[in-house]
Amino acid sequence: MKAELSTIEKRAEHFLGRHFVGKDYGPPLRGDFALLSESASVDLYGMADAVHILHTLGTLAQETDRSSRERWAEQLLGCQDDGGWFSRRNVRGHSHEHATAYAISALRLLEVDTEERYASQVSRIDHIKPILTDQHALLDWITRLDSRLTPWDVLKKKLGWHYIWRGSHVGGGIPAAIGMTRDLIEQWWGGEVDVDQWFNWYFDWLDAHINPKTGYWQRAFWNTVYRKPTLIDMGGAVHFLWIYEAMGRPFPYPEAIIDSTLSLQRPSGLYKDHPFCIDLDANFCLVRSFLQLSSTRQEIYRERVYRAAERNFEAIVKALTTQPLEEIYDDSHGLPGALAALVECTKLPSFKYGEALSEWQHPLDKAWWL
């Protein structure tokens, strides 16, 4: 397995080279990356994807120096608009909430040395103040997830709970941004915001509206007639579960999450036709739920959870070593999730391939969003 992982590392470097904006790719890297290969200009997701890839491979420190990381952070911070969202140079087209959480995560990962504080340079995010300071605004926001199903919302695919994989970018992205900037929030709005109380309101609402039979949040109009867990449900649920985990809050129904997620794995070991973030999502649901169980309950699930993780790990490795990455991914945003999915498996104690990934790092150990 060491040889296969070494191949992935080399292919990832080659892949990043194709997304480098310029001629001389090599250290110290300054963040000149684009979402689309051979693009003429850098953009938000290209820069953030590259940070996540290099961090996960454990090579960010050696591929950069303090000066180049400062330049990288400056370019990322330049994507923040006047109201606080990271909306500029968003070629990917994800929501402002997703882009903001992802950019702040990249800034945190760039903090290689303990004295680096790039995330603390984020400007005030005025857009989030209403839901931070008014419980009624928070409840209205989370009930709708920024969607009122107007023709414009439908056109922009802002369907809230009715397409929760995308809607959870709003419902999870904002809390992730809040969690990573809570010290700044207390500076921005003084005594107007109680971050701990806000998270209590947030989790209380989520706990009260989850489906205990699946462990997922199923609030779409079609869930009135169809309640079996789907990939869309799981891809949405994990964005809330990342926040639960980061805040040290127990999952409401970890066994149901395990059962639901196991039912979604394909015979190939993957969760769709190629590895990307959905594999991280599934492994996170399985692994973190399993780790929250009592030792007695873990014995009931141990064989199935470990086998699912091993099958997914092996399937990802096979995919990334038998086909050029540029043939698998149309842009740079699919690879970070696939790599993190491998590292997630190593959270299982004595995981079969854990030692082979000893030099890799999990971005969610340091950041709240991927």
SS3 33: strand
Of all residues in the chain, what percent carry a pLDDT higher than 70?
A: 97
Specify the residue for token string 């391939």: 353
pLDDT at residue 155 greater than cutoff 70: no
pTM of the model: 0.96
pLDDT tens-digit profile of 326-352? Answer: 999 999 999 999 999 999 999 999 999
- Own/partner contacts of 114-122, CB < 8 Å, gap of 24 or more, are 116/66, 116/69, 118/69, 118/70, 118/73, 118/76, 118/77, 119/180, 119/181, 120/183, 120/184, 121/73, 121/77, 122/77, 122/80, 122/84, 122/181, 122/184
* Residue scoring higher pLDDT (159 or 64): 64
pLDDT tens-digit profile of 72-110? Answer: 999 999 999 999 999 999 998 889 999 999 999 999 999
Instruction: Give which of 254, 315, 240, 253 is closest to 286, Cα–Cα.
Output: 254
Q: According to DSSP H, which parts of 23-119 are helical?
A: 44-57, 60-63, 66-77, 96-109
